[in-house]
Chain A
């Protein structure tokens, strides 16, 4: 598999950087509607993986991974993962066309009503009305359409500001990707297809692509820390000339270099037809990506804070935002230990399964 970036991907990267570089966000901005609009209208990246006949760009998840990488690098507060990746993949799998068309033209923003840390038992459904609670949902505050896995096995479309839906913002560890608690109390909805495969596919694609976001986060942390180490003087020399500092940064560079290879692999692995998203190789690549790239980003962010000293511990310096993003993404969509366990199962290495008499 090609693990490099194509010329098209590099030019998409340039456009994204041109758009994002000029922006700055305060730590309280959970959403930047302006950037979201530009991503939709100017770059068309919110519809990147939506088929052309529905008004999207018909690209693969590889290109969307590149968007994730840049959004991670700039920590842009937009619901790209929730809407343009996970909800979109779920909708593609159900065969929906209506909502996808509206996401592509920017008139809708959808979110899967599942906890960011992983799927939970679904919301109950009686006579077409949904009742239940889903906590700590990402990218749902700004969504107008919620996709709710329900007890009948279906995925339901529910209007986010419709009757019977209450959204309570959570004080989130990562303020740049705020979570909400959702309560459905007899909320009317429309079934759009079976939930299981759609949600599983969204999680596989989401895990695979979250690795690219983690790569972008880790790279920002490494670059920023290296720049600082070159200019910050102590004991009459740049702190980056001290070997204790150098070796730590060299180790971060190695793990970021590995993250790039792993993230590219994962993005490539999930870029085939949607039917393959449940395949062993796709799930394996996604679990590998989260086992490696999550912890690698956390480490890069931790070193960033540490090697900046006091300034790295302030609210003013952006290091803490990257630290919070890195740590929350390492828990989101399953922790590294959970993904390692999934890998063991996929590779038939799980001790419990091996020991069971067959």
Chain B
């Protein structure tokens, strides 16, 4: 086992913190980006838990906002690491981690959300590459992304899960058209993405042809852990926003509201400890199904806490900060107005798998309850009603 602390210390002493991007590239090359990744890919092959030591030693040095690079970090990276070729790992992981190249996720379509495997975007062989045509939707941060993880249909004659292939999409390629889609918060974090005859060379394919669903499952498992799965201190995050208000504004305090707030405090702390326990369970590899519990609980809590905050504020809870249409930079639950928080929290039970779908997953994959009778998984995709 490498002495992570000594390496981090030595790195800090020997690396001038001048240019931020340069510092991050060096940090990656020193294996101190994500220590549980293999050597040469930003890691040291160490235990995941050792990362905390690195963060401690490098505190105050240039870093990336995890919210800005979250899709790359939480979804693209683990998928590339697990299913990518050596060349793909070498090409993509470093600029992904340093934030020089941002990523987005081209999964959902107008006709395929919860039922992702039913998607219709087509990928057709063209010489040494593929032509992609279709429409994606709800694509967060597509307007900033250099690359996308893309799921497309390569064989419509097979049942839906079997005819999919996973690609890395070049967002600068001709035929990629990103259009903002305004949300109920007034701004546009997400987009519609139209793909028209987009050419992707075959070396942008991730995993084997027809194996797209297996690759996508790696992405989805990781997505659920990355939403709401990060380490926060006790009383931090949204519950901290609420208790700060409670402490500083006597007008919001009452005995009745106190018990409701404490219920949420308890729920937040229980969820936090559960996330902590899930992280302890993670060996360097794949997150287990417990990630679904973390995401499900986070969504419910975020909605309840932000809802109570508006009620506590009473008349002030009737006023919003700004409805200007903007293209969202990052999701900031704590920085903006209480009404923004409350509205944005409504998305948490939809994005990354709806709460209903997560309950299905828990019931069927964790508890082993029988699946609903269904016919859509055995017939060719082409024959399904759409």
Contact = CB atoms under 8 A, between A and B. Distances in A.
Nearest to A226: B367
Contacts of B246: 349, 351, 354
A253 B243 contact: no
Contact of A261 (B250, B266, B276, B358): B276
A237 B373 contact: yes
B269 interface: yes
User: Which of A238, A253, A260, A261 lies at the interface centre, i.e. has the most chain B CB atoms within 10 A of its CB?
Assistant: A261
**Most chain A beta carbons < 10 A, residue from B250, B276, B277, B358:** B277
Contact of B369 (A2, A229, A262, A291): A229
Interface stretch (A126-134, A142-150, A241-249): A241-249
A246 B266 contact: no
Contacts of B370: 230, 237-238, 240-241
Interface stretch (B1-9, B254-262, B341-349): B254-262
A343 B265 contact: yes
A1 to B, nearest CB: 8
B277 A3 contact: yes
B87 to A, nearest CB: 38
A272 interface: no
Interface in B247-298: 247, 250, 253-255, 257-259, 261-263, 265-267, 269-271, 273-274, 276-277, 280-281, 290, 293, 296-297
B355 to A, nearest CB: 9
Contacts of B254: 351
Interface in A230-283: 230, 237-238, 240-241, 243, 245-247, 249-251, 253-254, 257-262, 264-265
A351 B266 contact: no
A358 interface: no
A4 B262 contact: no
Nearest to B364: A246
Contact of B247 (A259, A348, A352): A348
A344 B262 contact: yes
B376 to A, nearest CB: 16
Nearest to A263: B273
B276 A3 contact: yes
Interface in B101-135: none
Contacts, number: 132
B89 to A, nearest CB: 31
Contacts of A238: 369-370
A337 interface: yes
Q: How large is the interface on A (under 10, 10 to 19, 20 to 34, 35 or more residues)?
A: 35 or more
Contacts of B60: none
A241 B373 contact: yes
A62 to B, nearest CB: 14
Contacts of A251: 359
A260 B276 CA distance: 12
Nearest to A252: B367
Contacts of B363: 240, 246-247, 249-250, 253
B226 interface: no
Nearest to A342: B262
Nearest to B258: A351
B91 to A, nearest CB: 37
Given A340-B266, A354-B253, A249 B277 contact: no
A177 B262 CA distance: 30
A261 B247 contact: no
A104 B13 CA distance: 56
A258 B297 contact: yes
A247 B369 CA distance: 11
B243 A349 contact: yes
Nearest to A237: B373
Given A254-B293, A291-B263, A349-B265, 4 more contacts: A241-B369, A245-B369, A250-B360, A347-B243
6 contacts: A226-B367, A229-B369, A230-B370, A243-B360, A262-B274, A349-B258
Interface of A: 2-4, 226, 229-230, 237-238, 240-241, 243, 245-247, 249-251, 253-254, 257-262, 264-265, 288, 291-292, 337, 340-341, 343-344, 347-352, 354-355
